[in-house]
Structure 1
Amino acid sequence: MFTVIGESLVDVVYGRAGAPPTEHVGGSPANVALGLARLGDAVGLVTQFGRDVRGERVEAHLTRAGVTLTGSHLTDRATATATARLAADGSAAYEFDLRWDPATLAAYPGSVAVHTGSLGTLAPGGDVLADLLGRIRRDTVVSYDPNVRPDLHGTREYARAQVERFVRLAHLVKASGDDVAWLYPGEPVADVVARWLAAGPSLVVVTEGGAGARLATPGYTVELPAPPVTVVDTVGAGDSVTSALLDGLYRHGVLTVGALPRLAEETATEVLRRALRAAAITCGRPGADPPTDAELAAAT
C-alpha cells in the first residue's frame, strides 16, 4: 500500500486561441496516486475536494482507477481548480484557486511509502504534514516533489525554506529543472542536487522535460535522455515520473528505508528509464493521463 497526501483538483486547460477550455481531473498528488493505481499498486489518497459537480468528477475518476479515499475527503468549499494555459510547445502555465487545511493527517496502515509535495506542503496544512512525516520517516519511505508554484509559494526565500524543510524529511526527492532554477537562480543543478543529498535523502531525481532526467545518489549520477514523443501537452508528465519511480523501486524490492541507500546503479538506471517512458506516454495525450501497466510494458 502507498499513501499519497495532497491536493486533488480540476485542471481547466486553455489550448488554442479562441477554443473553449477543457477540464481534466488533476492535482499533482492526485496524479501520482492515479498513476500508481494504474500500474497495479494499492494506493490511498489523503485529500480534500468539494461536494459539487467537479468534486463528483474527481471522486469518480480516482475511484474508478482503484484509488482509495479517506472518509474525510469532502469539504463544504468548492472543488479546487488549476487554470492551465498551454504554450505552442505544449508546456503549461498555471493559476490556482484552492485551500488545503487538514486538521489531522495519517498514513494508511502498512504503507510502504508516503508521497507528498506540491501545494499539500503549504501552510496551514504543511505544518500538520511535516509533523506526520517526522514521526514516520524512521520506518517508512518518504517521497517528496516540490512542484513549485511561484504565485502560491510566496517569496523565493520562503519557498526555498519550505522546500528544504521537506527535503530534510524525505528519502526520495523528485523535482523539475524549473523548480531548481526558480529556487536557486544561476546555480548549477548538480550543486543543488549535491546539497539536497547532503541534507539526508538517499535519492534525488531532477527532470528536464525533453532533455530527459538525472538520478543522483551520494555515490553516483545517472543521466538519461527522454524518449521521443509527439507532445500533446506536458500536464502530469512529472507526476507520471514519480509514480513510475515509486512503482519501479517497489517492484525491485528496494523501496525501504534500509535498501534505498544501497540502490545499485544498474537498478537505478532501469527504474529511471521506465519512468521516462511513462512520462512520454502521458505527454502524448491530453491532460494528466498516466499509463496503465500494460501500456507501459508495451512501450518497453
Structure 2
Amino acid sequence: MITVIGESLVDIINDPHRAGSTQAGPTQSGPTQAHPGGSPLNVAVGVARLGLATNLVTHYADDRYGLMIEEHLESNGITVIRGGSAPTSTATATLNPGGAATYAFDISWDINGASLPALAAVGGSIHVHTGSIAAVLAPGDHATLTLVKAARAHATVSYDPNCRPGLSPDSAAARTQAEVFVAASDVVKASDEDLAWLYPDRTPEESMAAWLELGPALVALTRGADGPVVVTRRGRVEMAAEPVSVADTVGAGDSFMAGLIGGLARLDAVGAAARSRLADLDPGELHALAAYANRAAAITCSRPGANPPTSAELGSLTGSLTASEG
C-alpha cells in the first residue's frame, strides 16, 4: 500500500477567445475547461496506474468540482481519506490572445476530521509521499508533517516541493519548510525551477548535494527537455529527456515522481526495512530507475493534460535494467 498526502483541486482554463460552449467539464472543448489536478493527486493516479494499491489523504467538498475529482479518483481505483470543510480548491488560468496566462487561486488545505483514518492509512503503508501545497499551506501543513513523521517507523517517505510562488511567495520561509520535509524523507524530487527559486545563489548540483546531507538516500532533479539527474551517496545518473512529440507538459513532473515510486517498489527498495537497500542501489539499478521515471514523464508529455501511463504502457523496469547493463 502506498499513501499520498496532499491537495486535490480543479484546474480551470479560461480562454475567452476560443469558440464553443462555456460549460465546464473534464472533456469539454469550449472556452472554459475544468480538469482534476493537484500535484499529490496526480502522483496518486500515476502510482495507482502502475499497479500499486494507493490511498490519497486529501480534501475536496461535495460540490460539482469535488464530484469531478471523486469520479476521477474512483475510476483509477484510489482509496480516499477526506477531511476539511472548505469548498473544493480551484486554480484558474485565464489566457490572453497570445496564450499567456494570468492565474487566480482559491486554495485551502485542511484535513481536519480525518486525523485518525489518515494515521491508520500511513500506518498500513510501505511508502508515503507528500509535497506541493500540502507541505506549506496552513493549517494542513502541520498535519501533513505529523503524518510523515509517524510513517517513518515503518515506511519510506518521498517529497516533492513543487513550489508555488503565487501561493507562498516568501522564498525564505518556503526554503525552511522544504528542508524540514527533505530531512524527513528518503527520496526527494525537485525541478530545476524549484531549486532556482529556493536557492538562487547556488547551482542545482550544490543544492542536490546539500539535500543529500540532510538525510535522504536519493535526490532527483527534473530539467524539462534536458532530462533528469538522479544522485545518491554511491552514484549519479544523468540522461536526456526521451524524444517525444509534446502535447503539453502538464503533470510530467508528477508522472516522473510516480515512476520513481513505482520503480523503487519493483526494486524492493521501499519500506523502513528496505532503507539500506535504497541506499545501496548499484549504478545499473539507478540508471534503470531514472530511465523508468523519465519514460513515464515522456509519455505524459505526449498527450494533453495530466494523464500518466499505465504499467502496460510504461513497460518493465527489468527491461530498463537490462538495457543499462548491456
Band of TM-score, shorter chain = over 0.9
Cα distance between partner residues in 1 of 2:103 and 2:230: 27
- Asked if the contact 1:92/1:234 (under 8 Å) is kept, the reply is no
Aligned to 2:24: none
Q: Does 1:3 align with 2:37?
A: no
Cα distance between partner residues in 1 of 2:241 and 2:61: 37
- Asked if the contact 2:228/2:238 (under 8 Å) is kept, the reply is yes
Q: How does 1:143-222 map to 2 (within 5 A)?
A: 143-222=158-237
Q: Determine which of 287, 291, 294 is the counterpart of 1:276.
A: 294
Q: Does 1:56 align with 2:71?
A: no
The Cα of 1:293 is off from its aligned counterpart by: 1.2
Distance change >3 Å, CA 223–CA 85, structure 1 → 2? farther
Cα distance between partner residues in 2 of 1:214 and 1:76: 40
Q: Does 1:259 align with 2:277?
A: yes
Cα distance between partner residues in 2 of 1:59 and 1:48: 10
- 1:122-162 per-residue CA deviation (whole Å, 9 max, x = no partner) reads 22111122122223213310100000000112311101101
Cα distance between partner residues in 1 of 2:241 and 2:49: 21
SS in 1 for 2:124: coil
Cα distance between partner residues in 1 of 2:191 and 2:104: 18
Aligned to 1:68: 79
Distance change >3 Å, CA 76–CA 131, structure 1 → 2? closer
Cα distance between partner residues in 2 of 1:180 and 1:51: 36
Cα distance between partner residues in 1 of 2:125 and 2:153: 13
Distance change >3 Å, CA 7–CA 141, structure 1 → 2? same
Aligned to 1:296: 314
- Asked if the contact 2:84/2:110 (under 8 Å) is kept, the reply is no
Distance change >3 Å, CA 56–CA 176, structure 1 → 2? same
SS in 2 for 1:147: coil
Name which of structure 1's ranges 11-20 and 211-220 shifts more when overlaid on structure 2. Answer: 11-20
Aligned to 2:50: 39
Q: Does 1:77 align with 2:86?
A: yes
Unaligned runs of 5+ in 2: 20-30, 321-326
- Asked if the contact 2:9/2:90 (under 8 Å) is kept, the reply is yes
Aligned to 1:142: 157
Bigger Rg over Cα: 2
- Asked if the contact 1:100/1:120 (under 8 Å) is kept, the reply is yes
Cα distance between partner residues in 2 of 1:292 and 1:93: 33
Aligned to 1:13: 13
Distance change >3 Å, CA 129–CA 282, structure 1 → 2? same
- 1:181-225 per-residue CA deviation (whole Å, 9 max, x = no partner) reads 011114111000000000000000010011101001112211011
Normalised by the length of structure 2, the TM-score is 0.85
One-letter amino acid of the counterpart of residue 221, structure 1: R
The Cα of 1:16 is off from its aligned counterpart by: 9.1
Unaligned runs of 5+ in 1: none
The Cα of 1:292 is off from its aligned counterpart by: 1.0
Cα distance between partner residues in 2 of 1:61 and 1:52: 14
Q: Which has the higher contact order (CA 8 A, sep 6+)?
A: 1
Distance change >3 Å, CA 175–CA 100, structure 1 → 2? same
Name the % identity. 46
One-letter amino acid of the counterpart of residue 189, structure 1: P
Cα distance between partner residues in 2 of 1:92 and 1:283: 19
Cα distance between partner residues in 2 of 1:54 and 1:181: 33
Cα distance between partner residues in 1 of 2:289 and 2:96: 30
Distance change >3 Å, CA 197–CA 239, structure 1 → 2? same
- 1:226-274 per-residue CA deviation (whole Å, 9 max, x = no partner) reads 0111221111100000111100110111223232111112111111111
The Cα of 1:86 is off from its aligned counterpart by: 7.5
Cα distance between partner residues in 1 of 2:101 and 2:124: 36
Cα distance between partner residues in 2 of 1:92 and 1:69: 32
Distance change >3 Å, CA 196–CA 93, structure 1 → 2? farther
- Asked if the contact 1:4/1:116 (under 8 Å) is kept, the reply is yes
- Asked if the contact 2:83/2:110 (under 8 Å) is kept, the reply is no
